Structure 1
Amino acid sequence: MVWVRGRLASTVSLSSTDIDLCQPESVDALRGVLHENDSLVIISALTPDKGKDVGTCMRNIQMGKHFSTTLEHSHCGHVVYIGSDAVYDDNANPVQETSCASPTGLHGLMHFVREQMLKHVVQQTKVPLMILRPSLLYGAGDTHNGYGPNRFLRLAKEGQPITLFGGGEEKRDHVYVKDVSRVTGLCLRHRSEGILNVATGSSVSFFDIAQIAVRLSGTDAEIKCLPRSNPITHRHFDITANLKAFPSFRYTPMEFGLSETFKHLTRVDR
C-alpha cells in the first residue's frame, strides 16, 4: 500500500507481528490504536498458499470475528475491506458487482462470511463500508508464487521452463498490485461505500502471459504444456461500475505492469 501511504496525511501499518488477529486479545489491541475519525483498511488473510483446508478457513473467519468485534465497540470514520473475486461462482461471466455471490471454494467462502460480518456491524454503527473484490493480482513483492504472471516471470528470468495447464488457453483478468492501492486510495479519499470489483475489464490467456514473460527476460525459457485435467474456464469482468465510480481512473496495461514487475525482480536479485 505504498501508493496509499504516500498520499494520506498519516498512516499506520500493522502486521501480524504487531497485532495477531487470530488471537482474542487482538480486539483490545486494535481498539487501542483505532480513533474516531480513522479509516481502517483490512487486508489481513491467510492466503491459499498457506492452506486450503477447513482449519485455515476457520482461522480466517476467526480473524473476521475479531476485527468485527473491534468495530462493534470502536467507532471509526470509514472501513475498507479488501476481499476477493473468489466470492463469485467460477462460471460467472461476465462478473459484475450484482453477480450472485456463490463461492465454490473455502477461500471465497471465508471472504464472503467476513463481508457479511462487517455488513452486520456497520448496520448498527452507521460507519461507511467499502468492499473491494480484486481479481488475480501480480506485481512486486509477491510471496505466493502461484500459477500466473509472477511465477512465469521468475522462471523466465532464470531460463527455466514455464509449465502451463493444457495449452494455457484459459483467460483471466490480472490486476497490477499498484492499481489496487490506487483504487483503495480513491475509496479512502471519497469515503466510498458499497461493493466494487477491482478488475481491468481485459482478460488475457496464460499462454500469452508466458510469452510476454519470456520476451521480457531475454532468455530461451521453454513454454511447456501439461495434459489438462479440468475443463477450460475463463473469467471476464464488466467494469461499468469502476468507470462510473472513478471515470478518470485507468488500469495499468498488462505488458507495462509485467515489465515493471520484471525490473523489480532484476533489482532485487542484484
Structure 2
Amino acid sequence: MNKFDFLNKKNKKPKRVVILGSSGIIVKNLSSLLKKKQINFITLGSKKINLKKPDIYSNILRKKIKKNDCILFLAAEAPVKSFRVLINNIEILKTVITAIEPKKISHLIYISSDAVYSDVKNKITESTQTIPDSYHGTMHITREKILESYFSKKLCILRPTMIYGINDTHDGYGPNKFVRLIKNNQNIKLFGRGEERRDHIYIGDVIKIIFKCITRKAAGKLNLASGNVVSFKEIADILIKKIKTKSKIKYVKRVGPLQHNGFRPFNVKLLKIFFKEIKLKNVKIGINNFYGDLT
C-alpha cells in the first residue's frame, strides 16, 4: 500500500468518527473542527480505556466501536525512548486491532511520524527508505506494517513532521517550546548555534488535511510537511521580533551529533496535488497565526 488517493469522489460526512487518544495537539484542534462541522464523534483516552492492557480492555473497546465507524488512531505512549515503551505501544496496537478487526469499520486513519524515514541527503518523499534508527521511528513503522496487514484497503497513514501551534502538549524543542519561554520572559537556549534546518507544519494546516482525509476517505500514505526548511535560530529570531519579551537567545554546547545530519527537507508534491485548496504556511506565517490564536 503506497499510492495515495481518495475513495470518495466528493466530501461525505462519516456516520461517526472515533478518536483513539484524547490529549495532544491534533486531538484538541480536530475536536473543535469536528464540532464546528457538526460531525458526530467521540474521543477515547487512557482515562477511559487503558489500551496497554489488551487482555482486559479489548472487549471494552470493541463494545464502543460501531459498524461503519471512521477510526482515527492517535493513541500512543510517547516519547518512545526505550524498548519497554516501544513494547507498550505494540500492546496498544494489539488492543486496537483485537477490538476493531471483527467490526466492519468504514475507514482507519493512523497518525504516524516522519521518524519512520532513514536519514537521506535528498528531499524525503513517500517512497523514501523506511529504516529508522530510533525507538520512536521503529514503533511507528512496526505499527504501520501490522495495520497494513489487516486493513490495507481502508487504511490511510499520515506521517507528519514537527507540528506547532495552539494546544501543544509536548513542549518540544522548536516553535512550541520557544513561544512558551518567550511568554514567560525566559531565555531561549539553542543547541550549538541553532543551525539545524528542519521542516515544521502548522497545526491549522494539519487539521484541514486530516478533515479532508476523513470526508474524502483517503487511503495510502502521505507525508505532512510545509515543504520549507528553516533553522532553529531563524525561528527564535522571528519569535523575539514578533512578541514583546525580555527573552534573549543563549547558546549551549551541543552534546552528540546533529540530529538528521542537521538537514531534513521534504518534497510535498503529493500533498499539494491532493490538497490544492490548502495553502501550506511557512514558519513565519504560521507563527503569526499561532500568536494570533494565543491573544
Out of 18, 21, 46, the position equivalent to 2:48 is 18
Q: Distance in 2 between matches of 1:145 and 1:92?
A: 28
Q: Is the 8 A contact 2:228 2:266 kept in 1?
A: yes
Q: Which has more strand, going by share of residues?
A: 2
Return 5+ residue gaps in structure 2 as ranges.
Answer: 1-29
* Corresponding residue for residue 218 of structure 1: 244
* Corresponding residue for residue 71 of structure 2: 40
Q: Distance in 1 between matches of 2:240 and 2:291?
A: 11
* Corresponding residue for residue 90 of structure 2: 61
Structure 1 residue 179: Cα displacement: 1.8
Structure 1 residue 216: Cα displacement: 2.2
SS across alignment from 1:173: strand
* Corresponding residue for residue 17 of structure 2: none
Does 1:115 pair with 2:141?
no
Structure 1 residue 159: Cα displacement: 1.9
Structure 1 residue 41: Cα displacement: 0.4
Q: Distance in 1 between matches of 2:72 and 2:121?
A: 27
Structure 1 residue 4: Cα displacement: 3.5
TM-score, structure 2 length as denominator?
0.83
Structure 1 residue 11: Cα displacement: 1.0
Q: Distance in 2 between matches of 1:18 and 1:91?
A: 41
Q: Is the 8 A contact 1:78 1:191 kept in 2?
A: yes
**Structure 1: which 4+ aligned runs deviate by more than 4 Å?**
none
What does residue range 138-217 of structure 1 map to in structure 2 within 5 Å?
138-217=164-243
Does 1:7 pair with 2:33?
no
Q: Is the 8 A contact 2:34 2:40 kept in 1?
A: no
Structure 1 residue 129: Cα displacement: 0.5
Q: Which amino acid aligns with 2:48?
A: D
Q: Distance in 2 between matches of 1:4 and 1:84?
A: 23
Q: Is the 8 A contact 1:4 1:184 kept in 2?
A: no
SS across alignment from 2:101: helix
Q: Is the 8 A contact 2:205 2:278 kept in 1?
A: no
SS across alignment from 2:201: strand
Structure 1 residue 257: Cα displacement: 2.4
Q: Distance in 2 between matches of 1:170 and 1:5?
A: 38
* Corresponding residue for residue 130 of structure 1: 156
The alpha-carbon distance between structure 1 residues 82 and 99, as it changes in their structure 2 partners (threshold 3 A), is same
Return 5+ residue gaps in structure 1 as ranges.
Answer: none
Out of 89, 95, 99, the position equivalent to 1:70 is 99
Does 1:234 pair with 2:260?
no
User: Share of identical aligned residues, percent?
Assistant: 35
Q: Distance in 2 between matches of 1:18 and 1:36?
A: 21
Structure 1 residue 82: Cα displacement: 0.5
SS across alignment from 1:193: strand
The alpha-carbon distance between structure 1 residues 9 and 156, as it changes in their structure 2 partners (threshold 3 A), is closer
RMSD: 1.7
Structure 1 residue 223: Cα displacement: 0.7
